[in-house]
Structure 1
């Protein structure tokens, strides 16, 4: 398992590097100034963080009430992920459209591009992070991670 210090370093690094890469790319791709795109990425990151906490708390309470158990089957995990992304889209989409003065459709396309970027980025960042900061040796019989 990673330490709390390592998890904080991972999280902060992920957000800072992601913002430094995404904002200039989005500025070029969507023809909006760097400040606007950086602000959108930063606010999106903050909204996603708060939504992640609240959503998972609510989802677990709902599972406990409906099923008496918070363990997730594969179909529940798929529904969990889709509902999370749908909720995030509903929270973030109107703000993108309003702040950038674009239509909801344009904001939707921008949001899809942002989600796609962060999906690929998360994979690459985590791969690089695990190579730069490998897990400490785990005694045989203990799973790492």
Structure 2
């Protein structure tokens, strides 16, 4: 008996996910950073856009690879269980810290520790956002499976 073919998201669907995710996050991140720092909204907004572009590229690649791991283990990615959703969100955010920390330090003229503290707090908030957004997205845009 063969296992049924598991259908995953298309490339365009992954791009739609990343764009919606990032647009909502840019608005919140830019405003929050301006409110928490001595910088104006334009400066923090530009930083948010730069980090967003990096995050969108990483997101498309990361989500594709994570889905492939699910498929390899016979799981349907859009029906990921709670532990898988938590692993997905946490893994993605830790990967982003590695790419965003040097940029935040340079752009904001912050020390390593100040930037790291900010990045870790932001990461904790974004982990929750990622979990909730992905859950809502999977319910709003389910991937039809073959019977």
TM interval, short-chain normalised: 0.5 to 0.7
CA deviation after TM superposition for structure 1 residue 126, in Å:
0.9
State the partner residue of 1:116.
124
Q: What TM-score does the superposition give when structure 1 sets the normalisation length?
A: 0.60
Q: Output aligned runs, 1:85-124, within 5 Å.
A: 85=94, 89=97, 91-124=99-132
Structure 2: tracts of 5 or more residues without a match: 1-7, 62-71, 73-86
Q: Which has the higher contact order (CA 8 A, sep 6+)?
A: 2
User: Which residue number corresponds to residue 6 of structure 1?
Assistant: 13
Partners of 1:139 and 1:97 lie apart in 2 by 48
Give 1:131 shift: 2.4
Shift of 1:45: 2.8
Partner in structure 2 of residue 128 of structure 1: 136
Q: Which of structures 1 and 2 has the bigger CA Rg?
A: 1
**Structure 1: stretches of 5+ with no match in the other structure:** 54-70, 72-76, 141-145
CA-based RMSD: 3.4
Aligned residue for 2:52?
A: 45
Instruction: Find the counterpart in structure 1 of residue 69 from structure 2.
Output: none
TM-score by length of 2: 0.59
Q: CA deviation at 1:90?
A: 5.1
